[in-house]
Amino acid sequence: MAIAKPLLSDLASTVNYVPSNYIRPSSDRPNFSEVQTSDGFIPLFDLQGLDGPDRFSLIQDIGKACQDYGFFQVKNHGISKKLIDEMLRVSKEFFHLPESERLKNYSEDPMKTTRLSTSFNVKTEKASNWRDFLRLHCHPLEDYIQEWPSNPPSFRDVAGEYCRHTRGLALRLLEAISESLGLQREYINGALGKHGQHMAINYYPPCPQPELTYGLPGHKDPNVITILLQDDVPGLQVLQNGNWVAVKPIPYTFTVNIGDQLQVISNDRYKSVLHRAVVNSMEERISIPTFYCPSPDAVMGPAPPLADHHLHPPIYSNFTYSEYYKHFWNRGLATESCLDIFKKQETYHA
């Protein structure tokens, strides 16, 4: 009897159809013919501008993108092409290791700080997603790097270096975003406790029937901001005005999106936006989101200057990031906001 393979990558290459547990109900499929492909619909910012006389106007543009799209892209972000290439290379090598080697890292427990897994949360979800992923906690790096895979041999060095750089980029972006909200430059930095940083390396194998399933269904990210690196294979789609729009990868740029915690801090001025990943029948795809987040003990709530009780009453009660985070993983990916249970109960309309 064949032994069930926990990882999709080891199953995908053996089937020419999508197994039934991956098939979505017909009302919840990618519907490719209705997806818009408009190049350049997400603003692309040159971050060199943050260090010069145009800082103020760039920050205003970033703020407008946060408000209007919840997404923007960045270039001249200070992370070298070489490091980006190496990060994509070790990631691909990892997923091409023999199954027995990869399985050493396998776990279905979302609270584990280093793990390889599949789909989203196999313990709670109804339909499976066409994805395997390696998820790593990355900050403070010294606390976690020893847990990371040691194969490929350069994995820890490259991914460690990559994490240090993406953390630097996240901190610069959070300063700019704080200012764009009219807050002190250091406000968000100070609101995240000891800070946290997670990284996923998503591996989407080719899929024989991509119209029946998702790599990741529509969801909003749980963290503060996400800095996404993708290879050159399209797959990311963002919901804009009720339509799904495909984001074409631009080499060596990052796609940044607002997560639920920034929605809370900004008291809904900036919204965490629905996005999803679709798969294709031709090529494997790798995407590497860096999830910049509060530390588990950090108390999240609207920034007081954005929650005056007259015009903008606070929409959320205070909660710890660990409360929210457990709820996020247990609930499963859903299009409804995960924030609803943290909303204040009162209604404000007199």
Instruction: Give the nearer residue to ligand OGA in terms of CB position, either 178 or 253.
Output: 253
Q: Residue 270 carries which side chain, given as an amino acid letter?
A: Y
Rounded Cα gap, residues 128 and 109, in angstroms: 16
Q: Listing from the earlier edge strand, what are the strands of the sheet with 236-240?
A: 216-219, 275-277, 236-240, 243-246
Which residue of 132, 179, 221, 284 would you call a contact of Ni ion, by CB under 5 A? 221
The interface partner of residue 303, options being Ni ion, ligand OGA, none and the CB cut-off 5 to 8 Å by kind, is none
Contact 292, 73 (CB under 8 A): no
Dihedral sign for Cα 58, 277, 151, 293, please: positive
Q: Which two tokens stand for residue 300?
A: 């999240």
Which residue of 50, 87, 207, 216 would you call a contact of ligand OGA, by CB under 6 A? 216
For position 289 contacting ligand OGA by CB under 6 A, the verdict is yes
Which residue of 287, 290, 302, 328 would you call a contact of ligand OGA, by CB under 6 A? 287
Q: How far is the CB of 78 from ligand OGA (least distance, A)?
A: 22
Instruction: Tell me which DSSP letter residue 333 carries.
Output: S
Which residue of 136, 170, 200, 245 would you call a contact of ligand OGA, by CB under 6 A? 200
Instruction: Give the nearer residue to Ni ion in terms of CB position, either 128 or 187.
Output: 128
Q: How far is the CB of 58 from ligand OGA (least distance, A)?
A: 25
For position 275 contacting ligand OGA by CB under 6 A, the verdict is yes
Which residue of 105, 180, 230, 253 would you call a contact of ligand OGA, by CB under 6 A? 230
The pattern of x and - marking residues 44 through 63 that bind ligand OGA according to CB under 6 A reads --------------------
Which residues have a Cβ under 8 Å from the Cβ of 340 and sit 6 or more positions away? none
End-to-end CA distance of the chain: 67
Contact 118, 192 (CB under 8 A): no
The interface partner of residue 235, options being Ni ion, ligand OGA, none and the CB cut-off 5 to 8 Å by kind, is ligand OGA
Q: Which two tokens stand for residue 201?
A: 């390396």
Distances in whole angstroms, Cα of residue 296 to Cα of each of 126, 192, 324: 28, 9, 9
In the block, which residue shows the tokens 């270096």?
161
The interface partner of residue 230, options being Ni ion, ligand OGA, none and the CB cut-off 5 to 8 Å by kind, is ligand OGA
Positions in the binding site for Ni ion (CB under 5 A): 221
Positions in the binding site for ligand OGA (CB under 6 A): 200, 202, 216, 221, 230, 235-236, 275, 277, 287, 289
